[in-house]
Amino acid sequence: MANLLETLPEYVLHWLVQKGTERHLIQGEVLIREGEHSSSLYIVLDGLFRVMVGQGAGRVVERSAPGTVLGEMSYFTGEPPETTVVAEESSLVLEISRGVLASKLEHDDGYAADFYRSVILAMSRRLRELTRKFYAEEEGVPALMRDPHAQKAQATIERFKQTMVELDKHAIKQSGFSEEDYRRFFGQAMELMQTCHGVLGEGSPLPESVRQHLGMRLQHDMLPYVLTTGVAERFYSKPRGYAGDYLAIHGIYSNTPGGTGRLGPLIDRMFLETPPSIAVRNRRALLADEIVRTVREKPSGTVNILCLASGPATEVFDAFSSLDEKSRLKITLMDIDLQALAFVDEVRSKQKLTNQIALVNENLVALFLGRGKTKVEPMDMIYSIGLIDYLNDKLVNKVLHFAHANLVPGGRVILGNFHPKNPAKEFMGCVLDWNLIHRTEEDMNRLFKDSPFARPCTRIQFEPLGIDLFAECVKEG
């Protein structure tokens, strides 16, 4: 879909935010219906939508994520929409009235020129993506059969599938799996992920259309097995609206495989022992250390810390367990998910930390765009573990504006992001539909230089595997 947040100038976006209204949709709710005129334009702030053509169940032609615009074709042509748009999960859109926007465009030529330019750029990108997708569907099979790199990848997939069939038969005869069986299976799983990384990643020798087709085939072959798992199935199904929800992260921390049938727990164990899952467990300790460090480096008084998109916040409880003077630390946990906050509330009550941990329900995208309802006091540290790798650069810039405005002089912000060296990046994206924005050290330095911090990161550190980086910057006084 057309991504307006990537192309709109700041003042154009600001006007839309001021004039628009937020609209929440539950999973399965129709936003736009084929053949029915709509009086609004929509920008997705949070969640996911599927765009379908055809009556009845229809065929899914696109999926839209935060930043995309919906209903733009009908707005410009005046004709009823030819697609139906349905919330695939609990979602939030910014609704802009057709009449309000039309009046602005009619009476403000400069605004209209910048708005239309941004829409044209976004729609051109959308057309290019649809063309590539069409080519992948129409031409992918012949190209796949000809290219040796694609053939190698397909052979690796088939070998892995055959191993699972053999293991299942073996388990029937032997009443389970041995550790040797699992190690052989895990070795082939890592080989498959490395192959996907090389063949489907940015350095791939294959045309993009062939990579897309191969990725679709990989998901088709692997999904039946994923659906038998416990934690990994949650990554794919996204019952809370995104892959890394609080229970999914809690499942990685707990590291207890689950699932159904003979293969389910085996495959779930594999996912829990892949490098990204280990990195998630590693980053928990890293952030707990940073919280403790912040307290110990301040000689006296209360230390105020804010966590954005807090999830299960396990690192917070780890930090409290290491502190002698627990009363000095005040942490605010902010999340859009009320269930995540309820989960944390139960833990903080058990650990008698209710006075030390404040829970705030807030839509962070709306907060960063200036429409939040929460007033934040000056903080000694603001951090997020798994937020910005879901956000494009423009929204990350908004995060940094927010952090800079709400830090005390000498306070610091720490933002976690997956690094492109993640060997399971393509496997996560293709099989689990877990598509994150991976960023390098150079990317993070650029983002901080373009923000109110106006300089590169003061420190970048990695968890031990080097897959998850944490960019830090101190607010100068």
Calculate mean pLDDT across residues 168-177: 84
- pLDDT-derived band at 372, boundaries 50, 70, 90: confident
Residue-level pLDDT at 26: 81
Q: What is the pLDDT of residue 140?
A: 46
- The predicted model gives 127-132 an average pLDDT of 63
Kindly state whether residues 38 and 9 are assigned to the same domain. Answer: yes
Residue 282 domain-assigned (yes or no) = no
| Span 402-418, pLDDT tens digits | 999 999 999 999 999 99
Handedness of CA 236, 239, 242, 245 (dihedral sign): negative
DSSP 8-state assignment for residue 229:
B
Residue 41 has pLDDT above 90, yes or no: no
Average pLDDT over residues 155-183: 87
pLDDT of 1: 44
Number of domains in the chain: 3
The per-residue pLDDT for 116 is: 85
**Assigned domain for 201 exists:** yes
Is a pLDDT exceeding 60 seen at residue 135? no
Whether 144 shows a pLDDT value over 60: the answer reads: no
pLDDT of residue 74: 79
pLDDT value at residue 73: 76
Instruction: Judge if 318 and 339 occupy the same domain.
Output: yes
Of the three residues 73, 105, 136, the one that is the final residue of a domain is: 136
* 284 part of a folded domain: no
Q: Which has the closest alpha carbon to 47: 21, 70, 24, 30?
A: 24
Q: Are residues 43 and 107 in the same domain?
A: yes
Q: Does 438 map to a domain? A: yes
pLDDT at 298: 93
Q: Is the pLDDT of residue 356 over 90?
A: yes
Choosing from 222, 243, 276, the residue where a domain stops is 276
Q: Which among 375, 377, 373 has a CA at the least distance from the CA of 407?
A: 377
Q: Classify residue 235: in a domain, yes or no.
A: yes
Helix, strand, coil shares of the chain, percent, nearest 5, are: 50, 20, 30
Higher pLDDT, 126 or 42: 42
Domain assignment present for residue 281? The answer is: no
- Domain shared by 126 and 150, yes or no: no
Q: What is the C-alpha separation between 232 and 321, in angstroms, rounded?
A: 29
Same domain for 153 and 118? no
Residue 18 has pLDDT above 60, yes or no: yes
Q: State mean pLDDT over 449-466.
A: 97
pTM above 0.85?
no
Cβ-defined contacts of 373-377 (< 8 Å, 24+):
374/334, 376/306, 376/332, 376/406, 377/304, 377/406
Residues 214 and 157 in one domain: yes
Based on the domain organization, do 214 and 231 belong to the same domain?
A: yes
| Distance between CA atoms of residues 264 and 254, nearest Å | 17
pLDDT bin (cut points 50, 70, 90) of residue 290 is very high
- pLDDT, one tens digit per residue, over 307-333 is 999 999 999 999 999 999 999 999 999
Tokens 């901080």 correspond to what residue? Answer: 448
Q: In the prediction, which pLDDT does 131 show?
A: 62
Do 329 and 270 belong together in one domain?
A: no
pLDDT beyond 60 at 381? yes
55 in a structural domain? yes
Q: CA 359 to CA 107: how far, in whole Å?
A: 44
Provide the CATH number for the domain around residue 72.
2.60.120.10
CA distance 146 to 144: 5
Range of the domain at 59: 4-136
The CATH number of whichever domain residue 397 belongs to comes to 3.40.50.150
Claim to verify: residue 300 and residue 255 sit in the same structural domain: no
Render pLDDT for 246-268 as a digit per residue (tens, 0 to 9).
999 999 999 999 999 889 999 99
Beta-bridged to residue 358, according to DSSP, are 332
Residue 309 counted as domain residue: yes
Which amino acid is it at 411?
G
**What's the pLDDT tens digit per position in 45-87?**
877 788 888 755 556 777 777 777 888 777 777 788 888 898 8
Report yes or no: 291 and 381 within 8 Å, Cβ to Cβ: yes
Whether residue 114 has pLDDT greater than 90: no
Say if residue 148 is in the same domain as residue 179. yes
Q: Say yes or no: 393 and 430 in one domain.
A: yes
Query: What angle do helix axes 109-146 and 10-19 make, rounded to 10 degrees?
Result: 100
**How does the average pLDDT of the chain come out, rounded?**
87
Among the three residues 244, 276, 308, which one is the final residue of a domain in this structure?
Answer: 276
Q: Which residue has the higher pLDDT, 332 or 16?
A: 332
Kindly state whether residues 312 and 207 are assigned to the same domain: no
- Of 78-87, 116-125, 153-162, give the lowest mean pLDDT range: 116-125
For residue 434, which phi and psi values (nearest 5 degrees)? Answer: -105, 85
Higher pLDDT, 147 or 177: 177
